[in-house]
Structure 1
Amino acid sequence: MPQQVRGVIARSKGAPVEIATVNIPDPGPGEVVVDIAACGVCHTDLTYRDGGINDEFPFLLGHEASGIVESVGEGVTSVAVGDFVVLNWRAVCGQCRACKRGRPQYCFDTHNAAQKMTLEDGTELTPALGIGAFADKTLVHAGQCTKVDPSADPAVVGLLGCGVMAGLGAAVNTGNVSRGDTVAVIGCGGVGDAAIMGARLAGAVKIIAIDRDDKKLEWAKDLGATHTINGGQVDAVEAVQELTGGFGADVVIDAVGRPETWKQAFYARDLAGTVVLVGVPTPDMTLEMPLIDFFSRGGSLKSSWYGDCLPERDFPMLVDLYQQGRLPLEKFVTERIKIDEVEAAFHRMHAGEVLRSVVVL
């Protein structure tokens, strides 16, 4: 039977979030209801609240989540009732041109639940990234559920659902960081620090963290950075070159997503190095550079979408590494909070006081 649960919604642009009663329908064909255990507070949720994604208010926020499958709809075979899952927003279709060419990490038609969750008055909700997990339960497509080790800490592994996977994958999947490489990461929030962790996991010998906040640089060191640069005090490009014998880094990851940071990444790389953009620009941002610089430097310029991950391949592997003590994902959890503390968590995140606040349900 349909259920009513608590959920955190954003009713209008910039308005504080609120707790509301959300109607969850029974799962239809290909759909799953998940009992949410924990959900991280991601900057993307704040961007939804502030109207930076689209204007399809009201939003049901939350997407970096883990939980237990409560019920499944017709035809669902990939997960079963009782499975512990991490939610994702890349449920590949298997039929688009990217999937048919063997590149499902670029799927152009990812699945979401067909039915809508609603408010008590019937108003349809737009779930953040097709998930909407700041709620006791949520309705998603079965492909958005990735089964992982049920003994893992829900508050930790749920973060793979977005920011941690985006950063880690930017280094490992998109940047192809390998043993012996030198890596520079611009921006040491959650995504940037995950990229640092990914570079360390891949065997980079020198990992240079760049930020304007000394507190964030300390976080970066704790997660694997071998060197730090305060970009507000020195020229970041020159500092990277000094640390690399004048050559630049093999891979530079821009986890900020602004024209000035992308230029820093471009000029801080080695002659044939790789730039990876994983920070998300706004639509109004533009870039003007001499075309000859692109030609004369060679190398690769890449954008990383969700860390170019395949959840069913990457999530279980990363959870296993975490369980073995080889991937300290727990260091991303700054605090555990209640569902009615999301608005306050947004303020702490915006002030740079936390890596991740995690709502525990």
Structure 2
Amino acid sequence: RVAVEILIPCRSCARCLAGNYMNCRNRIGSHGGGNPPERQGRLTGGYAEYIDLHPNSIVHPMRGDIPAEIAVMYNPLGAGVRWALEYGGVHLGTNVLVMGAGQRGLAAILASRYAGAGTIIATGLTRDANKLELAKEFGADYTINVEEENTVERVRELTGGDGVDVVLDVTPMAQQPIRDAIEAVRWGGTIVLAGLKGHKPIELVTDMLINKALTVKGAFSVDAAGYENAIKLIESGKFPLHKMQTHKYGLDDVEHAIKLLAGEVPGEEGIHVAVMPGR
């Protein structure tokens, strides 16, 4: 079994040669410019029984006995690993706040616990109750329902007033988590921003960034090292990843699967949704 990265670099431009292939100007894939003329009419997406791999595709080996629906978690797990450990610098004893309990938030919690983090705190909404319970199974020490508790006050209470070392925001569209992150992180701490906000401007008191000597990083994509570490984590079998895998669909139900993952199916909640040709 292999894992294939979702963008294809040219491998010859200055950025690729410097190791920053995720930002290759000529890349093809989810962060690139769509399907160039030479790719039109070829099977380049994942919603098919077969896929045409470009010669520049980056392929990672994975043990063949791992169920396909678990194996494909290398993608969100790769994000959690890179965003928490590389961008956030989470290591033994680090206190972490993960804002957002979707699959990438859960992956960041799992990666942080795997790295030996100290106190891990996760936030979510009332509708995220099941996800927050899973967050505890993945390694979170405490969870916060932001609709019932004040995030900043609770974090300060749990950290003796100091705040956490690292905050990772993976919430989509919501602006308040960024303001809370600045308040909840300790002096000299790190904030990693990974949740897109729809290009909407956000009011911030930037003096707090200066006075608290904060490091703020934007988390862009996942690299080969992130995927390789995610695969090692999957192969370790140390975490109940099957509990994050909530739904499996065949190709005829791709539209429903996408809507479910986006939270647009009333009465149904999904965390990790797999599309499996032949199902």
Aligned to 2:11: 94
Between 185-194 and 346-355, the greater mean CA deviation after superposition: 346-355
**Counterparts in 2 of 1:332 and 1:109: CA distance versus 1, 3 Å:** farther
Question: Structure 2 CA distance, aligned partners of 1:248 and 1:140?
Answer: 46
Amino acid at match of 1:132: G
Choose the corresponding residue for 1:144, options 50, 57, 70. Answer: 57
Amino acid at match of 1:271: W
Aligned to 2:39: 116
**Counterparts in 2 of 1:329 and 1:110: CA distance versus 1, 3 Å:** farther
Aligned to 2:216: 301
Between 132-141 and 192-201, the greater mean CA deviation after superposition: 132-141
Instruction: Return the TM-score normalized by structure 2.
Output: 0.84
Pick the structure with more strand per residue: 1
Aligned sequence identity (%): 29
Choose the corresponding residue for 1:243, options 150, 154, 158. Answer: 158
TM-superposed deviation, 1:333: 1.1
Question: Structure 2 CA distance, aligned partners of 1:332 and 1:146?
Answer: 24
TM-superposed deviation, 1:105: 4.8
Choose the corresponding residue for 1:203, options 106, 116, 119. Answer: 116
Q: Check if 1:157 corresponds to 2:71.
A: yes
Amino acid at match of 1:98: R
Question: Structure 2 CA distance, aligned partners of 1:320 and 1:165?
Answer: 10
Choose the corresponding residue for 1:343, options 244, 252, 255. Answer: 255
Question: Structure 1 CA distance, aligned partners of 2:179 and 2:146?
Answer: 13
CA RMSD of aligned residues (A): 2.3
Is the 1:146–1:315 Cα contact (8 Å) retained in structure 2?
no
Is the 1:201–1:327 Cα contact (8 Å) retained in structure 2?
no
Question: Structure 1 CA distance, aligned partners of 2:67 and 2:80?
Answer: 20
Give structure 1 stretches of 5+ with no counterpart: 1-83, 119-124
Amino acid at match of 1:192: G
TM-superposed deviation, 1:226: 0.9
SS of equivalent residue, structure 1 residue 220? helix
Aligned to 1:259: 175
SS of equivalent residue, structure 1 residue 138? coil
Question: Structure 2 CA distance, aligned partners of 1:289 and 1:321?
Answer: 37
Aligned to 1:269: 185
- Deviations for 1:14-70, whole angstroms, at most 9, x for unmatched residues? xxxxxxxxxxxxxxxxxxxxxxxxxxxxxxxxxxxxxxxxxxxxxxxxxxxxxxxxx
SS of equivalent residue, structure 2 residue 39? coil
TM-superposed deviation, 1:165: 1.9
Aligned to 2:272: 356
Number of equivalenced pairs: 263
TM-superposed deviation, 1:301: 0.2
Aligned to 1:74: none
TM-superposed deviation, 1:117: 4.4
Is the 1:217–1:228 Cα contact (8 Å) retained in structure 2?
yes
Equivalences for residues 1-361 of structure 1 within 5 A: 84-111=1-28, 115-118=38-41, 131-151=44-64, 152-161=66-75, 163-212=76-125, 213-257=128-172, 258-283=174-199, 285-306=200-221, 309-311=222-224, 313-349=225-261, 350=263, 353-361=269-277
